[in-house]
A and B are shown apart, each in its own frame.
Chain A
Amino acid sequence: MAVAKMKKLTLVAHETDKRKIMKALTGLGTVEVSESGDYQNAEKKDNAVSRAETEKKLARLNFVFSFLKEIRNQVKKVADKSNAEQKKLAEEPLDLKRENRLLDYDELIAEVTENEFDLFEIVGRLEEANSRLTDIRTEITRLNNLYAQVSEYSSFDIRFSQIKDTKYTAMFAGMIAAQNIEAVRKGLPASAGYETAPAGNGYAAVIIVHKEDKEAVAKLLAANDFSRCPFDFDETPAETLDHISERIGELSAAREELIVQSVGYFRYASDFKSLYDYYYLELAKLDALAKTTNTRHAFVMEAWVPADAEEVTVGKLKETAPGALIVTADPKEGETVPSYTRNSKIVGAFGENITALFGHPKYGGLDPNPFVALFYFIFFGFMLSDAGYGVLMTAACFIYLAVKKPVKRSGSFLLMFGLCGISTILWGAFFGGWFGIEPQYLEANSLGRFLLNFKVLDPLNGSQALVMFGLALGLGAVQIAAGFFLNGIGKLKTNPLDGIFNDFSWVILFLGMGIYLAGRLPAFAAASKIGLYIALAGVGMLVLGGMLGKKNPIKMLMGSFKNIYGIVGVFSDILSYARLFGLGLTTGVIAMVLNKIALIVIGMLPGIGYVFAVIVLAVGHAFNIFINLLGAYVHNSRLQYVEFFSKFYTGEGHAFNPLGGRTKYVFLSDKLETKSASR
């Protein structure tokens, strides 16, 4: 439950053991290779070439994934749904999502080496199919354009090759724009014969003139933007069009054939995914190797390993390379040590999905995750505040987790929401929110009466809304006080006075305020004054805290003033927790409004109204859950990041990123967790 202690592992081994060692380390998944220091007669090796090769393989595999996805879309369009065989093709499954599969690195290698050669041959075939498909597409586009152009002459029953001059005549064929056709007609010599047919925005024209008029007519046509027919096929326009359609038909058939063939490769998707991850890890290994220092026959590698995993790591390395020299040591002052937070599954779920987005704790610093988990859990239910929704959420998340059994930590997001669902049930029952059903309806049956037993506060009952408002701010004060407290604890070792006067003073101030407010209740009336004194003591400590470490009296005064002024900031932070109240209310009110609308619908349309009411309720509540779930998720995160973390947590640490820890399509087992699980 903390940021794990790390050890620096230095390994000196013979060049020939390098591959074995890298393989072992990837399989262990326990070390992050760091930049090794400089040694005499040794240098960093440039592996840009092998890196580029691996990247090229990854790029080819990425092409396969996007190509297969494209085929998936295409085959749905071309398949004839009435034909059983084609229908089956169109429904051929293609799964390109991450697989819920936990593998050993050795298993992955075995899986890949078995058929790597065949797979890359398939990649080649798919690349070929892709370029064929591209060619076909360009050709079809070209033919379609040609078809459009030729069809402009379709009304002429003359072969294109016949459009040429004879001994005594000259012949023109081409397009004339509509606004120019009159000018051309008028300008032609009387002896000219011509025929026009409307085509597109203008006219297709064939004109025959005496040879002696040829020049004059050519000038006339040029002046009127005549565009000469570019074709010289030895067939009539109609015949050409037939041939073009035929060719397009052939090409389309070839295209469909290619698509159908490619569908046959869908079943290799899983193999491609393993292959991708294999090379993805190869790339990680190359990057790790680039950080090592090499002589001609040996290399030095420095790496970070969690202290808990030291034994298993060193053991495995000794077994892999008996000749290697392995030294482990505690981190030295000034070294950037990666931080690895080790938490229970539950706390980890919040840490991975909330804290990690903000930043990782510094090595040796405080792990905020247990506190984040606690407050996030409490606030979530307050914001969603409907026990009915909570039940749905919890059930959905835990059923999914139980059925799918996500490996490694891939289920942590759902686990977090499942837990938040429990919080929602608790708060929902506290506020009496059950799908927004109003109390008078709940009281009508025994289940409703039972559920109402848990109701402590009804936010929609007059001034009780204010109590809920106060409760929200109170929870905020608790979290902020916790933030100051944690910051003070962190300072105790280095600068205890600073911690006591600038951080614990806030806790005392909040405590005093809390007691003072409790004193407003008749039962604790005596406490009121005590609370006030405690709060004043806190303020006094803040005044002193501002003076700490300063010699100039004016600076001391300013420091005190700054601290006192800080009270304004802190109280505005507390007011920010009003969002707990606001979001808590909206869920309940919208749910109630939906139920009212459903009732109105039933009242307006007797009988059939029930059908509409069910639709209103189903769609409405689904929307309400979605929008408020999203709201609770992000507003809750914000409270952690802005209001809570600003008091004590910077998240400037560098997350531990072990070799073999990152894969894209399968999950790789590691030896990080096994150790802690066995204890």
Chain B
Amino acid sequence: MTLGTFLAIVGAAIAAGLAGIGSAIGVGKAGQAASGVISEDPDKFVKCLILELIPGTQGIYGFIIAFLVMLKINVFGSMVALSTNAGLSLLAASLPIAVTGLVSAIHQGKVAASGIALVAKKPEESTKAIILSVMVETYALLGLIVSFLSVFLPDYASMI
């Protein structure tokens, strides 16, 4: 394996890892709040569950980028020998979703947790709580798009 290929795998690992950490923290925060509400009223489970899941998407975005990087270097077959520059570029391309995913998922988790508090008081307004927490996701989506385009478009295999 070349250093370039190794760096690309590091990129994939960072994308899936950091975004996943963010989502884990976010979902965890929301989950704690949800358990509190459900202990009072088990019927609110589904509404709380939806809110709890919202900060989970960043982890998926990170995973998608990691998977695309893995496809680029053909992890599932004979691995492509990337040049060091190509590897560094793929690593850099993985960073936007890694960072935005990590931070936005944590903050989205906070909004989701307060959204769950909102559901506890006014269950009929749960859609508004969902929309408020989705606002945070915009920035993870932008990170995803930047990562996606910069992982996907260039021809790394022939980069010197």
Residues in A lying within 8 Å of B, measured CB to CB:
357, 460, 462-463, 465-466, 469, 576, 578-579, 581-583, 585-586, 589-590, 593, 596, 600, 627, 630-631, 634-635, 637-638, 641
Q: Are B131 and A579 in contact (CB under 8 A)?
A: no
Q: Are A465 and B152 in contact (CB under 8 A)?
A: yes
Residues in B lying within 8 Å of A, measured CB to CB:
50, 53-54, 56-57, 60-61, 63-64, 67-68, 76, 127-128, 130-131, 134-135, 137-138, 141-142, 144-145, 148-149, 152-153
Q: Are A600 and B76 in contact (CB under 8 A)?
A: yes
Contacting residue for A582 out of B50, B53, B145, CB 8 A:
B145
Known: A466-B149, A627-B53. A590 touches B141 (CB 8 A): no
| Residues of chain B contacted by A630 (CB below 8 angstroms) | 50, 53-54, 130
Contacting residue for B134 out of A576, A593, A638, CB 8 A:
A638
Q: Are B57 and A631 in contact (CB under 8 A)?
A: yes
Q: Are B144 and A586 in contact (CB under 8 A)?
A: yes
Known: A590-B60, A600-B76, A627-B57. A578 touches B145 (CB 8 A): yes
Q: List 7 A-B contacts (CB under 8 A).
A: A357-B131, A465-B148, A586-B60, A586-B144, A593-B67, A630-B54, A630-B130
Q: Are A582 and B144 in contact (CB under 8 A)?
A: yes
Contacting residue for B141 out of A462, A469, A578, A627, CB 8 A:
A578
| Residues of chain A contacted by B76 (CB below 8 angstroms) | 596, 600
Q: Are B68 and A579 in contact (CB under 8 A)?
A: no
Contacting residue for B148 out of A576, A585, A593, A635, CB 8 A:
A585
A485 → chain B closest CB, angstroms = 25
Contacting residue for B153 out of A357, A466, A578, A596, CB 8 A:
A466
| Residues of chain B contacted by A462 (CB below 8 angstroms) | 153
Q: Are A635 and B144 in contact (CB under 8 A)?
A: no
Distance between Cα atoms of A200 and B152 in the complex (Å): 68
Known: A630-B53, A637-B131. A590 touches B149 (CB 8 A): no
Instruction: Give chain A's interface secondary structure class.
Output: helix
Distance between Cα atoms of A589 and B130 in the complex (Å): 24
Distance between Cα atoms of A590 and B61 in the complex (Å): 9
Distance between Cα atoms of A631 and B141 in the complex (Å): 11
Q: Are A635 and B60 in contact (CB under 8 A)?
A: no
Contacting residue for B145 out of A463, A469, A600, A641, CB 8 A:
A469
Distance between Cα atoms of A637 and B127 in the complex (Å): 10
Q: Are B149 and A638 in contact (CB under 8 A)?
A: no
Distance between Cα atoms of A578 and B138 in the complex (Å): 9
| Residues of chain A contacted by B54 (CB below 8 angstroms) | 630
Q: Are A589 and B68 in contact (CB under 8 A)?
A: yes
Q: Are A635 and B67 in contact (CB under 8 A)?
A: no
| Residues of chain B contacted by A596 (CB below 8 angstroms) | 76
Distance between Cα atoms of A585 and B130 in the complex (Å): 22
Q: Are B142 and A578 in contact (CB under 8 A)?
A: yes
Q: Are B127 and A357 in contact (CB under 8 A)?
A: yes
| Residues of chain A contacted by B60 (CB below 8 angstroms) | 586, 590, 627
| Residues of chain B contacted by A637 (CB below 8 angstroms) | 127, 131
Distance between Cα atoms of A637 and B61 in the complex (Å): 21
Beta-carbon nearest neighbor of A73 in chain B: B42
| Residues of chain B contacted by A460 (CB below 8 angstroms) | 152
Contacting residue for B149 out of A465, A576, A631, A634, CB 8 A:
A465
Distance between Cα atoms of A250 and B83 in the complex (Å): 82
A550 → chain B closest CB, angstroms = 35
Distance between Cα atoms of A465 and B127 in the complex (Å): 32
Q: Are A641 and B149 in contact (CB under 8 A)?
A: no
B46 → chain A closest CB, angstroms = 12
Distance between Cα atoms of A596 and B67 in the complex (Å): 11
Distance between Cα atoms of A195 and B134 in the complex (Å): 70
Q: Are B64 and A593 in contact (CB under 8 A)?
A: yes
Distance between Cα atoms of A150 and B17 in the complex (Å): 58
Q: Are A465 and B153 in contact (CB under 8 A)?
A: yes
Known: A590-B64, A634-B134. A582 touches B153 (CB 8 A): no
Contacting residue for B64 out of A469, A578, A586, A627, CB 8 A:
A586
B108 → chain A closest CB, angstroms = 12
Q: Are B141 and A579 in contact (CB under 8 A)?
A: yes
Q: Are B152 and A634 in contact (CB under 8 A)?
A: no
Beta-carbon nearest neighbor of B42 in chain A: A73
| Residues of chain A contacted by B153 (CB below 8 angstroms) | 462-463, 465-466
A541 → chain B closest CB, angstroms = 31
Q: Are B128 and A357 in contact (CB under 8 A)?
A: yes
Distance between Cα atoms of A99 and B115 in the complex (Å): 29
| Residues of chain A contacted by B61 (CB below 8 angstroms) | 586
Distance between Cα atoms of A275 and B141 in the complex (Å): 50
Q: Are B130 and A634 in contact (CB under 8 A)?
A: yes
Contacting residue for A589 out of B50, B64, B131, B138, CB 8 A:
B64
| Residues of chain A contacted by B144 (CB below 8 angstroms) | 582, 586
| Residues of chain B contacted by A638 (CB below 8 angstroms) | 131, 134-135
Distance between Cα atoms of A134 and B132 in the complex (Å): 42
Distance between Cα atoms of A579 and B153 in the complex (Å): 18
Contacting residue for B67 out of A466, A583, A589, CB 8 A:
A589
| Residues of chain B contacted by A576 (CB below 8 angstroms) | 138
Most buried by B among A578, A582, A596, A638: A582
Distance between Cα atoms of A581 and B141 in the complex (Å): 9
- The 7 A-B residue pairs with the shortest CB-CB distance in the complex, in nearest-first order: A582-B141, A634-B134, A582-B145, A579-B141, A589-B64, A582-B144, A593-B67
Distance between Cα atoms of A357 and B131 in the complex (Å): 10
Q: A357-B131, A579-B138, A641-B131 are in contact. List 12 more A-B contacts (CB 8 A).
A: A460-B152, A462-B153, A469-B145, A578-B145, A582-B142, A585-B148, A590-B64, A593-B63, A600-B76, A627-B56, A627-B60, A630-B50
Beta-carbon nearest neighbor of B125 in chain A: A357
| Residues of chain A contacted by B148 (CB below 8 angstroms) | 465, 582, 585
Beta-carbon nearest neighbor of A642 in chain B: B135
| Residues of chain B contacted by A581 (CB below 8 angstroms) | 145
Beta-carbon nearest neighbor of B155 in chain A: A462
Distance between Cα atoms of A582 and B97 in the complex (Å): 12
| Residues of chain A contacted by B135 (CB below 8 angstroms) | 638
